[in-house]
Amino acid sequence: MAPRSRSIAAASWGPFVADRASSPYHELRRQYVDEYLGYHSRISGQLTSERTSLESKLIPVSAYIITACIEALARYPEMIERIQEAMPPEEIGRRARRPGCRVNTVHLWSIANLALVGRKVLAQVDPVRANDVSDLATIADFWERTARAFRGDDGTRQACDNGTVTPYRAAVIDELLAGVRPVDDEQRARIKRWNATLVSYLFLLYFDTRVGTGDTGPYPLPDGRVALVRDYYQMAESDFPWSGVAAGVPFSNLTAVFVLDGITIDRITDFGTSNTTPEDYLDHMVGFALFTTDGPSLQPLDIDATDAMVPAVRAAQSQHYRAIAAMDRDEKIRCGAYVYFSFLRPFAIEAGVADELDWTVPRDIDPGLYAMVSAMEGNNTGAQDDAPYYDPLPPTA
């Protein structure tokens, strides 16, 4: 295997590639993993404190998240090795710098963190497996190399580093902005209703998960205004086994541009959401553009397309709600776990190997552990204690 590049300790790894079992190489790799754990511990601890566990009466969210995270720790390293055999992580990150691609900030955060959340649980029952340095290094290296390329090699690794997510090149932004048209009060109200409908629909379609939308920005404009770009992903039939309910939804992927006046975008988070001052940013929308990325390039849509989508989206959401309500708990956990576990799938799609990999979940989790995890209930509270969100590696003997 060729030496890995662009990782935190990359410059120091070279001399030990020929003998990866050597003590110096092993120690460098441990240092790399510990830096990775400390970096994400700070960021993910903060993000978690800002959100609740999001348990709902309909879907056992905590149970399916932990199931997916344990599976990610067990299976992502091997899957990642296959992905990067087919395409270098840097190339995946560069290709992802386009509207409609789900190799985005939240999926990057997820492939870095799902296994680490699984590690928190597995460490209680199998600490040796939970602290496999080789597996953790494989995930960390893939994430970092992809993330740096996605962010344009600007020295940052994710949104928390500088509060922005601006992957699109100038030519892409120019094309998006060329489609913007002024909006009046009536159009603004229509767009707000349309956006709220899509966000609510995608939240349920992704089993009470917010990854169906993703923001990028801010993109400052010469006149002092600012643009926020929002992608809406996989709205129609997709790899989700339950997505047949969306057969009537006319578009799968959409990209919207909101031009805002009198708004400060304070930060874009690694969850792909925007924090603005004031909070009601769509009330300050003065321009709007809409595109679909279902084809090979951006295709502009008229504002009237927003009204045409709403009935189909609402019908799909109602049908999906009824379908979920009819599921037993295990079915719900399996569906939700698939959403989370398949956060790696967009990377495999870019590399052309998604159909070679097994996305079945749960698959490898110990039955006894699954029985315990599947009974979990969230309490809708954020992280409370001051301990590190992710523990460092235990000391070696």
pLDDT tens sequence across 165-190: 999 999 999 999 999 999 999 999 99
Same domain, 217 and 159: no
Is residue 380 situated within a structural domain? no
Domain closes at, from 326, 358, 390: 326
Q: Are residues 273 and 320 in the same domain?
A: yes
Do 154 and 17 belong together in one domain? yes
Number of domains in the chain: 2
Q: With cut-offs at 50, 70 and 90, classify the pLDDT of residue 52.
A: low
Residue 160 lies in domain: 10-164+329-373
Q: Are residues 316 and 355 in the same domain?
A: no
Among 310, 326, 342, the domain boundary falls at 326
Q: pLDDT value at position 6?
A: 35
Domain end among 293, 326, 359: 326
Can you tell me the mean pLDDT for 14-41?
74
Instruction: Flag whether 188 is in a domain.
Output: yes
pLDDT tops 90 at residue 21? no
The verdict on 69 and 180 lying in the same domain is: no
C-alpha angle with apex 299: 343 to 93, nearest 5 degrees? Answer: 35
In a domain, 3, yes or no: no
- Please give the pLDDT value at position 379: 63
State pLDDT tens for residues 335-382.
999 999 999 999 999 999 999 999 999 999 999 999 999 999 876 555
User: Which residue is listed with tokens 């001051």?
Assistant: 386
The predicted pLDDT at position 10 comes to 36
How high is the mean pLDDT of the chain? Answer: 91
Q: What is the pLDDT of residues 200-223, one digit of tens each?
A: 999 999 999 999 999 999 999 999
Is the per-residue pLDDT at 89 higher than 50?
yes
Same domain, 192 and 317: yes
pLDDT of residue 47: 85
* Verdict on whether the full-model pTM lies above 0.85: yes
Asked if the structure places residue 90 within a domain, the reply is yes
Does pLDDT of 14 surpass 90? no
Do 297 and 176 lie in one domain? The reply is yes
Report CA-CA distances (Å) from 287 to 223, 225, 258, 305. Answer: 13, 10, 6, 16
The answer to whether residue 54 scores a pLDDT higher than 80 is no
| pLDDT of 58 | 93
Question: What are the tokens at 208?
Answer: 């009470």
Q: Report the pLDDT averaged over residues 262-267.
A: 96
pLDDT score, position 377: 85
Among candidate residues 149, 110, 113, the one with its CA nearest the CA of residue 342:
110
Confidence (pLDDT) at 19? 44
The verdict on residue 386 lying in a domain is no
In a domain, 155, yes or no: yes
- Of the chain, the percentage scoring pLDDT greater than 70 comes to 91
Beta bridge partners of 265: 276
- Is the same domain home to 344 and 304? no
Q: Is 264 a domain residue?
A: yes
- Please check whether residue 379 lies inside any domain of the structure: no
pLDDT score, position 26: 81
pLDDT band for position 23 (50/70/90)? low
Same domain flag for 311 and 253: yes
Q: Say yes or no: 114 and 145 in one domain.
A: yes
Same domain as 42, residue 174: no
Instruction: Reply yes or no on whether the pLDDT at 275 is more than 80.
Output: yes
Residue 332 CB partners (closer than 8 Å, separation 6+): 59, 60, 64, 207, 324
**What DSSP assignment string belongs to 264-300?**
EEEEE-TTS-EEEESS-GGGGEEEEEEEE-SSSS-EE
Which ranges in the chain belong to alpha helices (H)?
10-13, 23-49, 61-86, 89-95, 105-122, 127-130, 133-150, 170-178, 185-205, 304-326, 329-341, 345-351, 367-373
pLDDT in tens, 227-250: 999 999 999 999 999 999 999 999
Same domain for 271 and 203: yes
Residue entry with tokens 């603005």:
276
Average pLDDT for residues 284-309, to the nearest whole number? 96
pLDDT (average), residues 151-163: 95
Mean pLDDT of 291-305: 95
CA 319/CA 291 separation, integer angstroms: 26
